[in-house]
Amino acid sequence: MSAPLIAIDAMGGDFGPHCIVPASVACLAEFPSLHLVLVGQAPILEELIARHPGVDRARLRVEHASEVIGMDERPSQALRGKPDASMRVALELVRSGRAQACVSAGNTGALMALSRYVLKTLPGIDRPAMVSAVPTAKGVCHLLDLGANVDCSAEHLYQFAVMGSVAAEALGVVRPRVALLNVGMEEIKGNQQVKLAASLLQQAQGLNYTGFIEGDGLYRGEADVVVCDGFVGNILLKSSEGLASMILARIEALFNDGLAARLVGSMALPLLRRLRSDLAPARHNGASFLGLQGIVVKSHGAAGVEGFQSAIRRALVEVRENLPQRLHGRLEDLLL
């Protein structure tokens, strides 16, 4: 394939271009074939790029966009009121074929609304879904939806399951195990939408649906794809990140509690660092918007340089795997 080119909304997120420019420069060094276009206010971006004199400008260019969408701005305002916003210009580059993916740490609601408007959804898909990899005892689980769709019908959950399965296959999972997140394993458990979605999934041909799963089963690695509505998924993801941070902090505090504990801690430090690396939210940062006619990856707004690099890496994988085309090719077979 030709050299991948990814459009970066360089003005989004809590730290904006002061985080995004160095993350982009680091990714260019990591992937020699990668090309990036930073979209945003050109004077600011050029000044920050100048701090990295060794960067290959043949693979990094700037596309000026005069407006910025605020993190607290309503999606409707962003959709109608800022035609030259960095987020929108980056998405237009994907729509026109001048870029193969868009990465943004900006306003999630605005990014979803603009993505649907600019790129449109794939045939058969009513709503795009956000999916990300969550660490488990056996590797990772692909969890969706993560907040794009708070209220979902059974048909929406079914579509999420299909898209999640195809995406997991594209990322190397053979015959992904797909499960519905529920309050119990029994068929009588759950709300009406989950029960109806289970009935639809049981009828699906070519989908490896394994039934209901509870939260602890997710972390034991009992499924490769776990489906829920965005309200539940967002709470689960953020609670998981907070729990992992709390546990690591408590372990470090215990190892500093007295001389004997510090001696034990010094021996355990390499393992603790490895655990911190495995569970660090930055390593798993980057949620894909599945179901669009183009690749869009959402970085956590509070992500630092390392976290934003992970989001760019995710976009690069999806470009190399031609994910939207793979989804389109399988949807006709799997959708009811």
Domain containing 136 — which CATH number? 3.40.718.10
Answer yes or no: is 141 within a domain.
yes
Please name which of 297, 326, 336, 302 lies closest in space to residue 122, comparing C-alpha atoms.
Answer: 326
Do 298 and 263 lie in a common domain?
no
Predicted pLDDT of residue 127: 86
Is the distance from CB of 263 to CB of 217 less than 8 angstroms? Answer: no
**What is the rounded distance in angstroms from the CA atom of residue 288 to the CA atom of residue 279?**
19
Answer yes or no: is 286 within a domain.
no
Do 297 and 238 lie in a common domain?
no
Per the structure, the complete domain to which residue 303 belongs is given by: 1-125+291-324
> 77 — alpha (psi -120 to 50), left (phi > 0) or beta?
alpha
Q: How many CA atoms lie within 13 A of 10 on its CB side?
A: 29
Do 154 and 273 lie in a common domain?
yes
Is the distance from CB of 7 to CB of 94 less than 8 angstroms? Answer: yes
Do 79 and 184 lie in a common domain?
no
**What is the rounded distance in angstroms from the CA atom of residue 59 to the CA atom of residue 32?**
9
Beta bridge partners of 49: none
Do 263 and 138 lie in a common domain?
yes
Do 97 and 142 lie in a common domain?
no
Predicted pLDDT of residue 176: 95
Do 137 and 106 lie in a common domain?
no
Answer yes or no: is 336 within a domain.
no
Do 105 and 176 lie in a common domain?
no
Answer yes or no: is 26 within a domain.
yes
Q: How many domains does the chain have?
A: 2
Answer yes or no: is 330 within a domain.
no
Do 31 and 138 lie in a common domain?
no
Answer yes or no: is 87 within a domain.
yes
Answer yes or no: is 249 within a domain.
yes
pTM of the full predicted structure? 0.87
Do 166 and 267 lie in a common domain?
yes
Do 168 and 256 lie in a common domain?
yes
Task: Determine the Cα angle at 165 with ends 90 and 23, to 5°.
Answer: 35
Predicted pLDDT of residue 281: 55
Give the start-end residues of each E strand in 10-157: 35-40, 60-64, 101-104, 129-136, 139-144
Q: Which residues contact 9 (CB under 8 A, 6 or more apart)?
A: 20, 39, 40, 86, 87, 90, 102, 103, 104, 105, 106
| Residue-by-residue pLDDT tens, the chain, 336 positions | 578 999 999 999 999 999 999 999 999 999 999 999 999 999 999 999 999 998 999 999 999 999 999 988 898 888 888 999 999 999 999 999 999 999 999 999 899 999 999 999 998 888 899 998 888 888 889 999 888 888 899 999 999 999 999 889 888 899 999 999 999 888 888 889 999 999 999 988 889 999 999 989 999 999 999 999 999 998 888 888 788 778 777 877 777 777 766 776 666 667 666 665 565 555 667 889 999 999 999 998 888 899 999 999 999 999 998 888 888 877 777 665
Answer yes or no: is 333 within a domain.
no
Whether residue 333 has a cis bond before it, omega within 30° of 0: no
Do 237 and 96 lie in a common domain?
no
